[in-house]
Every structure is written in structure tokens, then in C-alpha cells.
């Protein structure tokens, strides 16, 4: 679940934010201790300790010597902080006329303190925007982490390269069809062509091209690389 029931301490939230930011940046899912440490201005030892704490809180999972990854809870927390941050920036600038160069610093503080009600009230006051004035997306609070990060295959544009994530498991016959062609979670997919008017999609998977019907394509959830 993306709803953070977890304790909220400034440091914890900052670590989660940092992990999210670095992971997103490199496209890499796993974040190194040293990178994390230098991003936060602490020693690797400190980061290492904090990562252990994040793990006990259920926010991150770390195979030692192998880097950190946010769990779904952690990812949810990161997205919720990001949401608060962008909502705050937008609100401070648009409603209170705070200059844009100051807005970030203010949001940095308030994002850790904003209550759920206040967040909702601010979002509402702004008309529940999807994006901040810079065009950056504001994560939604009513979607699970997966829903925020994955998309139905049929919503892609030609040329998009993505990774297969999953199929809603109520569709075993689709799973079987895919399995027969070696299409399993993790494989990369490149959308080659989409026929107009709901026609089939052509996608390159494992070096071979496949035709996928719209219904199937709509069920397949993928994430961008």
C-alpha cells in the first residue's frame, strides 16, 4: 500500500526521498550506500545504519553489499512526499505569491509536516492539479504504487521501450498465451506499430515480433525503462 502508516521522522523521510530520487535518476532500481550518503552529506557508515532502520520499518529492502531498494511502502511514502512537495510549491507560488526561488526551500520543510487533511485542502484549492507549474507530475494519493508507475500496454506510443510487469491474475488464459511465447515479467518490449481504429499492436519481444490484440494489450501492465 502506498499509504504511509509509518512513523514520520524528518530523517527517515529524507532518506526515502533521496533513495527515490537517485533510483529514478539512474533508471537503476538499486541505490548504492555511498551515493546515498554523499547525496545526504553524511558518511557511508551513517547511511548504512539508516538503511538498516528503513528495512526494519518496512520501507526499504537491502541485501547487504548489494544496494537498497524501496519497498512498495517506501515507494508510496516517497511519492506521497513528492506529492506534498509539489503541491506546496504550487500553492506557495500561485496563492501566496512567494517567488519561485524561495518556494523550494519552504516546501522542503513543510512537506514533512503537512497533515493529510491539509494536503487534501491544498490540492482541492488548486483544483487537484496533475502537474506543477513546471510541468512535473504530481503523484496521486488515490492510486497504489503500481498504478502510478505502470501503464497498460495499449496506452503507449510507437517506439516506446518498456518492461513487462504483470497481468491481472484473473486472466489465466492470457498468461498461458504469453507464457507459450516466452513473454514473462521482466522481458523488454518495444512497441513497433499500432494499427489504427483499435487494430492489433506490433511489438518486438525477445527479438521476435508479435501481434497483440487490443484487449490483451490493455490488460498487460508495463513500466518504462
> Under the rule (CB under 8 A), what is the footprint of its own copies?
92, 95-98, 102, 106, 109-110, 113, 115, 117-118, 121-122, 124-125
The beta-strand segments (E) located in the chain are: 60-62, 68-70, 151-152, 161-166, 188-194, 201-205, 208-212, 221-224
Q: Which of 163, 73, 162, 93 is nearest to 133 (CA)?
A: 93
Closer residue to its own copies in complex, CB, 37/92: 92
* Binding partner selected for residue 48 from DNA, its own copies, none, CB under the kind-specific 5 to 8 Å limit: DNA
* Binding partner selected for residue 64 from DNA, its own copies, none, CB under the kind-specific 5 to 8 Å limit: DNA
Question: Cα 6 to the chain's mean position, in Å?
Answer: 19
Q: Which residues in this chain contact DNA in the complex, by CB under 7 A?
A: 7, 9-12, 32-35, 40-53, 62, 64-67
Closer residue to DNA in complex, CB, 64/159: 64
Closer residue to its own copies in complex, CB, 18/92: 92
List Cα–Cα distances, 147 to 37, 72, 142, 189, 202, in angstroms: 30, 11, 9, 19, 24
* Binding partner selected for residue 12 from DNA, its own copies, none, CB under the kind-specific 5 to 8 Å limit: DNA
CB of 115 to its own copies, least distance (A): 6
* Binding partner selected for residue 35 from its own copies, DNA, none, CB under the kind-specific 5 to 8 Å limit: DNA
Closer residue to DNA in complex, CB, 35/107: 35
Amino acid at each position: 500500500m502506498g499509504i504511509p502508516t509509518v512513523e514520520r521522522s524528518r530523517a527517515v523521510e529524507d532518506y526515502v526521498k533521496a533513495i527515490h530520487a537517485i533510483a529514478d535518476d539512474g533508471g537503476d532500481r538499486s541505490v548504492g550506500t555511498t551515493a546515498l550518503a554523499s547525496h545526504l552529506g553524511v558518511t557511508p557508515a551513517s547511511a548504512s545504519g539508516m538503511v538498516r532502520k528503513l528495512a526494519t520499518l518496512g520501507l526499504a529492502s537491502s541485501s547487504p553489499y548489494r544496494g537498497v531498494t524501496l519497498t512498495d511502502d517506501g515507494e508510496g511514502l516517497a511519492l506521497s512526499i513528492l506529492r506534498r512537495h509539489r503541491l506546496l510549491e504550487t500553492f506557495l507560488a500561485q496563492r501566496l505569491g512567494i517567488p519561485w526561488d524561495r518556494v523550494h526551500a519552504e516546501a522542503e520543510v513543510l512537506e514533512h509536516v503537512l497533515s493529510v487533511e491539509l494536503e487534501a485542502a491544498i490540492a482541492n484549492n488548486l483544483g487537484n492539479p496533475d502537474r506543477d507549474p513546471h510541468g512535473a507530475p504530481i503523484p496521486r494519493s488515490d492510486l497504489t504504487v503500481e498504478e502510478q508507475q505502470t501503464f497498460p500496454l495499449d496506452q503507449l506510443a510507437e517506439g516506446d521501450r518498456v518492461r513487462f510487469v504483470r497481468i491481472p491474475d484473473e486472466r489465466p488464459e492470457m498468461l498461458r498465451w504469453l507464457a507459450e511465447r516466452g513473454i514473462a515479467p521482466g522481458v523488454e518490449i518495444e512497441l513497433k506499430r499500432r494499427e489504427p481504429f483499435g487494430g492489433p499492436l506490433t511489438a518486438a519481444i525477445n527479438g521476435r515480433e508479435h501481434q497483440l490484440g487490443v484487449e490483451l494489450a490493455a490488460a498487460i501492465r508495463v513500466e518504462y525503462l
